[in-house]
Amino acid sequence: MPFTIIIKSFPTPGQEQTQTKDVGGLTLRIGRGTANELQLEDRSIQLTRAVIQEVLTAHFFMTQPHYLKWMLKLKDVEMRT
């Protein structure tokens, strides 16, 4: 499952800029290291802070029918940045 990274910045009050980056594969690494798909600039963050990996989604869809409904609800959740 590919990942889509959405980067929002606010250069001035009331102005929003959005960039997107598609990352293929089943793994998304986050941190400040150059081997990460999502690289953060903050020097206080570890070289690799988090790894998100796609595991058994098809299995969940088949054995847990409510899983898809739950995921669709999550897409509408606003995250604070």
Query: Which pTM value belongs to this model?
Result: 0.56
The DSSP symbol for 33 reads S
Per-residue pLDDT in tens (0 to 9) along the chain, 81 residues: 578 888 899 989 989 999 998 988 888 899 999 999 988 888 998 998 888 877 666 666 667 777 777 777 777 777 665
